[in-house]
């Protein structure tokens, strides 16, 4: 019987299931959409039941499409956005917003309702903040917990379980309340290097009841990613997923970290995960940098112990809006509607990238289309290296042009802006003891060769693309293989199941000079925007 593994990725807009063989080859993927409720005030909410139903539907359909016997599936791994799920003592959904909608029990990662709570926490400068880049983000879970306690006290009091979404999926699948060291370390302030929560922090910020309850509601059993949960799939979960009871279920990862597992140690590349930065380019972007020793980088989350690779430290940066920033940018242009019609159902960013290539000598030459047009695409703040949720986008150099050619130029300038944001993170980390020599890209928004080449030129580093078309799903499947015992550990599994397909090298001195000048302009525009916001 051939061994297969299923990786499940829950992103912001969909749940996807992928079936892989033991060599990491993808047989098929299936996607099911997820609904997000958005409202003024940075509100973004989802339903845990709908997410689980989408996971089950996608998994059953993927098994059918792959044409394999469910008994051949040895392990399942989950990854998800770092969203917070609130459940009652009996596991029921609890309303985190409008009580008329108790099914909305998820505060989505991008939800910024807790900006005031995060600001208050940061004024205390507690020691645990040293391990989140010096300042907590409203995207993390303790500010959101504090918001819930202050604004929905009845829900907070009734809650028996606060889960990161990945851990919620593991619980639904296996019945285990164990939390992944990835989720609780990166988003909940668990100190994995000391194997403990810090009760002083929770008392100081107004969540002392969690500490007094021995942290039962946020996790008492913390395990490393890839650890087998419980006795595997419960009978109920197995029936819903179309799998066999007892199939191994792995402790999961945040989605970006699964992309790191699926790329940074791939054979044919650097293979040393400490020399390669994982760049997951989706709705937002995340950067994962692994070090043997902790590197304290201002504005970069971490260092986190055993958050991605067990036994290693992780620095996590990124951009709060990446693919979403490009969508927002091009939607503002007068030619947006006309371009959508011409794209004829093709994703507009892909169509624009094709147009940019068609009007340039090559991918590197596309930067010539933008000339004096500059974009700092911080529509949703700066996640790293400033940890500034109040930062906003800057666009300089727009003229009166309204045609598709100017839309293509704006798109290219936006991609370059994301590249300069990535370069800024890389340079900041290098200055604080976490240098890298290459970038491994994953995520749905980063698949076009134009994007990969522009990122290589903007950062002046080679960009690796793996053979797998779904490296995030592959990272989740690798967890399943480790949980099943067919791979000894994550570090060993990475080069066995992931391989480099293509490397995009920087284009040389001429391109470097252009991008150096544009990067300097990017930094100046950031400074000007900060100065203007600080002005009385």
What are 211-227's pLDDT values in tens digits? 999 999 999 999 999 99
Mean pLDDT rounded to a whole number for the chain? 95
Burial class (CB in 10 A: 0-12, 13-18, 19+), 488: exposed
Cα gap 253→335, rounded to integer Å: 40
pLDDT of 471 reads 92
pLDDT class of 443 with cuts at 50, 70, 90: confident
pLDDT of 288 reads 94
pLDDT class of 320 with cuts at 50, 70, 90: confident
pLDDT class of 182 with cuts at 50, 70, 90: very high
pLDDT of 271 reads 65
Q: Is the pLDDT of residue 35 over 70?
A: yes
Q: Write b or e for each residue in 226-257: b if 16 or more Cβ atoms lie within 10 A of its Cβ, otherwise e.
A: bbbbbebbbeebbebbbbbeebbbbbbbbbbb
Angle at 479 between CA 488 and CA 418, to 5 degrees: 125
Q: Is the pLDDT of residue 98 over 90?
A: yes
Mean per-residue pLDDT, 45-55:
98
pLDDT of 483 reads 98
Question: 507-523, pLDDT tens digit by residue?
Answer: 999 999 999 999 999 99
Which residue, 530, 347, 529, is CA-closest to 446?
Answer: 347
Domains of the chain plus CATH, in order, are 4-253 (3.30.420.40), 271-467+506-536 (3.30.420.40)
pTM greater than 0.85 (yes/no):
yes
pLDDT of 270 reads 65
The DSSP string of 304-358 is EETSSSTTSEEEEEEES-SHHHHHHHHHTSTTHHHHHHHHTTS-HHHHHHHHHHH
pLDDT class of 268 with cuts at 50, 70, 90: confident
SS (H, E, C) 170-215: HHHHHCCCCEEHHHHHHHCCCEHHHCECCHHHHHHHCCHHHHHCCC
pLDDT class of 389 with cuts at 50, 70, 90: confident
Say which residues have a Cβ less than 8 Å from residue 28's Cβ, sequence separation at least 6: 18, 19, 62, 65, 66
Q: Write b or e for each residue in 45-66: b if 16 or more Cβ atoms lie within 10 A of its Cβ, otherwise e.
A: bbbbebbbebbbbbbbbbbeeb
Say which residues have a Cβ less than 8 Å from residue 378's Cβ, sequence separation at least 6: 319, 320, 321, 325, 391, 392, 393, 394, 421, 526, 529
Question: 391-420, pLDDT tens digit by residue?
Answer: 999 999 999 999 999 999 999 999 999 999
């Amino acid at each position: 019987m051939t061994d297969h593994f299923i990786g499940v990725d829950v992103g912001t807009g969909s749940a996807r299931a992928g079936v892989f063989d033991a060599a990491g080859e993808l047989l098929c993927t299936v996607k099911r959409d997820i609904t997000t409720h958005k409202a003024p005030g940075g509100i973004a909410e989802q339903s845990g039941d709908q997410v689980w139903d989408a996971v089950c539907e996608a998994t059953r359909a993927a098994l059918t499409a792959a044409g394999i016997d469910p008994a051949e599936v040895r392990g399942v791994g989950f990854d998800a956005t770092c969203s917070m799920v609130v459940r009652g003592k009996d596991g029921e959904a609890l309303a985190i917003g409008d009580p008329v909608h108790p099914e909305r029990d998820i505060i989505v990662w991008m939800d910024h309702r807790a900006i005031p709570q995060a600001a208050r926490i940061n004024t205390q400068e507690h020691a645990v903040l040293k391990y989140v880049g010096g300042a907590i983000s409203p995207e993390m879970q303790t500010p959101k917990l504090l918001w819930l306690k202050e604004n929905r006290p009845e829900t907070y009091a009734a809650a028996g379980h606060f889960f990161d979404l990945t851990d919620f999926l593991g619980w639904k699948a296996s019945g285990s309340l164990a939390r992944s060291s990835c989720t609780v370390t990166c988003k909940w302030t668990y100190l994995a290097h000391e194997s403990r929560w810090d009760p002083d922090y929770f008392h100081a910020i107004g969540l002392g009841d969690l500490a007094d309850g021995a942290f039962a509601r946020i996790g008492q059993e913390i395990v490393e990613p890839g650890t087998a949960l419980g006795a595997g799939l419960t009978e109920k979960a197995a029936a819903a997923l179309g799998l066999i009871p007892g199939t191994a279920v792995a402790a999961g990862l945040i989605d970006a970290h699964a992309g790191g597992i699926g790329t940074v140690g791939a054979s044919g590349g650097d293979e040393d995960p400490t020399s390669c930065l994982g760049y997951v380019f989706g709705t937002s972007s995340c950067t994962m940098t692994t070090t043997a020793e902790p590197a304290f980088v201002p504005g970069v989350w971490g260092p986190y112990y055993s958050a991605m690779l067990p036994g290693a430290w992780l620095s996590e940066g990124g951009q709060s809006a990446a693919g979403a920033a490009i969508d927002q940018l091009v939607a503002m242009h007068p030619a947006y509607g006309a371009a959508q019609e011409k794209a004829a159902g093709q994703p507009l960013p892909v169509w624009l990238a094709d147009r940019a290539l068609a009007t340039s000598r090559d991918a590197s030459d596309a930067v010539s289309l933008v000339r004096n047009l500059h974009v700092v695409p911080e529509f949703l703040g700066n996640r790293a290296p400033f940890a500034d949720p109040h930062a906003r986008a800057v666009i300089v150099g727009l003229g009166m042009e309204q045609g598709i050619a100017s839309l293509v130029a704006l798109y290219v300038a936006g991609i370059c802006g994301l590249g300069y944001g990535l370069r800024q993170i890389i340079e900041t980390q290098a200055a604080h003891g976490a240098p890298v020599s290459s970038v491994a890209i994953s995520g749905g928004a980063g698949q076009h060769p134009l994007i990969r080449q522009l990122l290589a030129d903007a950062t002046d580093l080679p960009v690796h693309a793996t053979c797998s078309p779904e490296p995030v799903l592959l990272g989740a499947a690798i967890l399943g293989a480790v949980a099943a015992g067919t791979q000894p550990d994550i570090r060993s599994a990475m080069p066995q199941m992931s391989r480099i397909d293509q490397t995009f090298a920087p284009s040389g001195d001429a391109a470097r000079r252009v991008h150096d000048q544009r990067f300097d302009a990017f930094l100046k525009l950031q400074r000007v925007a900060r100065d203007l916001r600080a002005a009385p």
